[in-house]
């Protein structure tokens, strides 16, 4: 669990996000701080993680307009197309574990179209199907990598998908240019959220 450090500034407690220490005239980021309590080193502060290059994956088949979402310790990449199938109707899904090893993942349960989107809701990885007869469905993988789908969501091509507060949120899209926003929680319940101020496609979210 992260430990926090606060510094008083202008009468308010401000959270320290980064700390540095000078080593050989270079500012080096501090990742963790410890304090001695009862003869034991106890963590008292953990900084924000700093992305670092880790390596490459072999055996992965990259596709156009595919989407990615995590579940457990697996990152699933699904859907998309290739040079001969640019509309992106592939049902293929591939998994990558934290050691950058390929993991077998079942195909998507509902065939996607171009511009699928991916997000996670704690125990599930979810993929919008885009703009075809399955556009009301969202593909789902649980922590056991069992594939299924959820009806009644209505995702659209090239909309945005984000993970937020244990929900997967799908918004917008432009096969018909929509402004709808829907969230799916960890119990696979669909929630209607306030619409976007205007219909938009080609969205991205974090």
Q: pLDDT tens for residues 102-157? A: 999 999 888 776 667 889 998 999 988 766 555 677 899 999 999 999 887 765 55
Which residue, among 125, 201, 120, has the nearest Cα to 164 in the 3D structure? Answer: 120
C-alpha–C-alpha distance, residues 39 and 50, integer Å: 30
Sequence-distant contacts of 42-50: CB under 8 A, at least 24 apart: 43/3, 44/3, 44/5, 45/3, 45/4, 45/5, 45/16, 45/19, 46/2, 46/3, 47/17, 47/18, 47/19, 48/17, 48/18
- The pTM is what? 0.69
Q: How does residue 98 score in pLDDT terms, banded at 50, 70 and 90?
A: confident
Report the pLDDT averaged over residues 84-113: 82
pLDDT of amino acid 199? 54
pLDDT of amino acid 61? 78
Cβ atoms 160, 205 nearer than 8 A: yes
Q: What are phi and psi of 49, to 5 degrees?
A: -70, 140
pLDDT at 39 over 70: yes
C-alpha–C-alpha distance, residues 32 and 21, integer Å: 12
CA atoms within 13 A on the CB side of 106: 16
pLDDT at 185 over 60: yes
Q: 61 or 72: which carries more pLDDT confidence?
A: 72
pLDDT of amino acid 135? 63
pLDDT at 53 over 70: yes
């Amino acid at each position: 669990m992260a430990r926090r450090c606060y510094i008083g500034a202008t009468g308010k407690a401000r959270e320290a996000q980064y700390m540095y220490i000078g080593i050989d005239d270079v500012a080096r980021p501090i990742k963790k701080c410890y304090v001695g309590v009862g003869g034991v080193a106890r963590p008292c502060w953990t900084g924000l993680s700093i992305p670092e290059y880790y390596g490459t994956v072999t055996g992965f088949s990259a596709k156009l307009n595919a989407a990615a979402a995590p579940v457990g310790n697996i990152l699933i990449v699904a859907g998309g197309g290739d040079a001969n199938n640019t509309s992106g109707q592939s049902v293929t899904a591939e998994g990558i574990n934290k050691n950058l090893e390929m993991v077998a993942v079942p195909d998507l349960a509902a065939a996607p179209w171009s511009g699928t989107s991916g997000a996670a809701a704690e125990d599930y990885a979810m993929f919008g199907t885009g703009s075809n007869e399955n556009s009301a469905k969202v593909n789902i993988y649980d922590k056991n990598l069992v594939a299924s789908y959820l009806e009644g969501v209505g995702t659209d091509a090239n909309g945005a998908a984000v993970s937020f507060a244990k929900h997967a949120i799908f918004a917008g899209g432009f096969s018909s240019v929509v402004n709808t926003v829907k969230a799916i929680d960890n119990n696979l319940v669909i929630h209607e959220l306030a619409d976007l101020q205007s219909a938009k496609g080609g969205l991205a979210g974090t």
